[in-house]
Structures are given as C-alpha cells and as structure tokens.
Homo-oligomer: A and B are copies of this chain.
Amino acid sequence: MRFETGLIEDPQRGRVGIVRLRVRYAETDRMGIVYNAHYLTWFEVGRTEFMRALGTPYRVIEERGYNLPMVEAHLRIRQPLRYDDLLVVLTWLGRLRSRVVEFRYEICDQAERVVATGSTTHASVESSSGKTVVVPDWLRDLLLG
C-alpha cells in the first residue's frame, strides 16, 4: 500500500492521520466479513494516531483533565473487509465547534479503494466535574494546527 503511518497534508482535508491495521479473526462474523461495530473501534484507532501525529496523544489530553466521549457517529460501508485484509484508516478534523469536535474517516483496502467512510462527534468534557465545557485553547490550537 502507498500509505505510510503518519500525517499527510491534503489540499481539501488539511492534515490527515494515517494508520495501517489488519483485520483480526475476532473482528469477523459468520458472514465471513468484518462485523459492523468494529469500524467504530477502527475509527478510535484512527483518532488516537491522528492526535499522536499532531503532537499530543489522546492519553495526554485525558491526563490534562479532559475527555472526548462520542456523542454521534455515522458509518457507511461500501465494500466488506475480510480476515487478514490490510486496511488503512485516514482521519482528519471535521467541524470544530465551541463544545464539540468532529472527526472524519475514510477506510481503504489494500488496492487503495475506499471501502468505508464515516464521522464521529465528541463532546468536550471536563473529567473532574463530568460537565461539557468549551474546548480548551490548547486543544483547539492542536486540532487547527
């Protein structure tokens, strides 16, 4: 595959995080294809590696007292993936609002075809109070680059 793990610059999408995964047997179902829920987990891996590539791992964001729980997700599967397939998750920033962050995703197979797309929206939550808060400046700066 052309894609290397890391960060690329895309004219439309801005910075795009890239991570390669391989389908686990555990992720297949009796249809012989990847069970749908695992795409959301792959989106999480995409987000995690995107933020690491931006310079602040999501783990550190939590250590600083913030959580980004998912409040909305959209997923579209165009072509199924199968056991042992290599895939690439591309992740980039969607809309950034006052208290909410959106990420967008594209999943490509080994032939570089787009096999799934999606987006997830996350609330900015202060972990001590559990309350939704304005995205802190340092996180906004990290995401906007």
Q: Which residues of A contact B (CB under 8 A)?
A: 24-26, 28-33, 35-38, 40-41, 44-45, 48, 57-59, 67, 69-78, 80, 82-84, 120
Main secondary structure of the interface of A (DSSP, over half): mixed
Chain B residues near A71 (CB, 8 Å)? 76-78
| Cβ contacts under 8 Å, A26 to chain B | 29, 35, 37, 41, 44
| Central interface residue in A29, A58, A59, A76, by most chain B CB within 10 Å | A29
Residues of B within 8 Å of A41, CB to CB, are 24, 26, 37
A44 touches B25 (CB 8 A): yes
- Which residues of the other chain, B, contact A48 by a CB distance below 8 angstroms? 24-25, 84
**C-alpha spacing A30/B44, complex, angstroms:** 14
Contact, CB under 8 Å: B24 / A45: yes
What chain B residues lie within 8 Å of A45 (beta carbons)?
A: 24
Given contacts A59-B83, A77-B72, contact A35 B31 (CB under 8 A): no
